[in-house]
Amino acid sequence: MKRMKAFARGSLRLLGNWSGLHRGRPEETADPDRVDWGRAIPFLLLHLSCLGVLFVGVSPVALLVAVGLYGLRMFAITAFYHRYFSHRAFRTTRVMQFLFALIGAMSVQRGPLWWAAHHRHHHRHSDRESDSHSPRWGGFLHSHMGWFLNRRNYRTRTELVGDLARYPELRFLDRFDILPPAALALALWITGDWLGQAYPALGTSGAQLFFWGFSLSTVVLYHATFTINSLAHSFGRRRFQTRDDSRNNLWLALLTFGEGWHNNHHHYPGSARQGFYWWEIDLSWYLLRGMALVGLVRDLRPVPARVLRAGRGKAGEGRS
């Protein structure tokens, strides 16, 4: 028993050191803006693994799983990683908090503390030189994905998320952020193998569910999410004159369940709603309203009437 416990502790420590997101990892190195290839290579390999869909075929089950996992994890990122953990725009129970932190971690976008801390830093320094992912300063590729592949931004800025760091289960997810996506990938493979044997008429397999439901779904989710840092600060209209370059973009809002109303959000980030008006489609807001009706979340922070009045009728300026 002692050997098993020691093995478990050692394994968790190894995973924590590999992920490099715990508080003990230093933020600065000799060149903190260089790509950390030790962590960038798995990111690149995940992209390459999408080619697996060309060799495993496709089935309705695989497509359903891929789309379903995209939607579920996008909601976890937009509604919980962003609106809840980063901005505290509503309240929920500790159980729901952990459940959606776990689902968000399955998106392979690191743990909730890391995500919320960097996003809070972004709002404090939005489109200034100290912003980690501003296209104004770093260019499109850096703002889209280069920023989280460099050494400087691997550390969790725990000083910005003291309200969240008091929960040991969130600290665990943040330190061992590789565990949830690894468990998801394994579960998909096992489930696909079982379906292939128990219900061969479905035409699926473990490899098929892995490549469609994990690899491809995750990579599409990646780049849809990343557009808010890059494209939503470059293309669209500005209803409000914020100090940054944030834009409202309908197409990005549809792709990201409402995050594309980015100029709205930067003008008033505390609201659980980012599509401020009825014609601005915000799927995460609709789903949160549904969860509130059955008591899963509560105290959804609305957009103040004064903000709505100030923005009503303003189509906004296009990009110069």
- Our CA dihedral for 248, 251, 255, 257, rounded to 10 degrees, sits at 50
The pLDDT tens digits for 54-81 are: 999 999 999 999 999 999 999 999 999 9
Q: Residue 315: pLDDT above 70?
A: no
Q: Residue 284: pLDDT above 60?
A: yes
Q: Where are the domains of the chain?
A: 51-311
Counting beta carbons within 10 angstroms of the beta carbon of residue 113, is it exposed (0 to 12), middle (13 to 18) or buried (19 or more)? buried
* The model's pTM: 0.88
Q: What is the 3-state secondary structure (H, E, C) of the chain?
A: CHHHHHHHHHHHHHHHHHHCCCCCCCCCCCCCCCECHHHHHHHHHHHHHHHHHHHHCCCHHHHHHHHHHHHHHHHHHHHHHHHHHHCCCCEECHHHHHHHHHHHHCCCCCCHHHHHHHHHHHHHCCCCCCCCCCHHHHCHHHHHHHHHHECCCCCCCHHHCHHHHCCHHHHHHHHCCCHHHHHHHHHHHHHHHHHHHHCHHHCCCHHHHHHHHHHHHHHHHHHHHHCCCCHHHCCCEECCCCCCCCCECHHHHHHCCCCCEHHHHHHCCCCCCCCCCCCCCCHHHHHHHHHHHCCCEECCCCCCHHHHHHHCCCCCECCC
Give the percent of the chain with pLDDT over 70. Answer: 88
pLDDT for 146: 87
Residue 316: pLDDT band (50, 70, 90) is low
Token reading at 114: 């890391």
What is the spatial distance between Cα 80 and Cα 161, in angstroms, rounded to a whole number?
Answer: 14
Residue 26: pLDDT band (50, 70, 90) is very low
Give the percent of the chain with pLDDT over 90. Answer: 78
Stretch 103-121: mean pLDDT: 97
Residue 211: pLDDT band (50, 70, 90) is very high
Question: Do residues 156 and 174 make contact, with C-beta atoms less than 8 angstroms apart?
Answer: yes
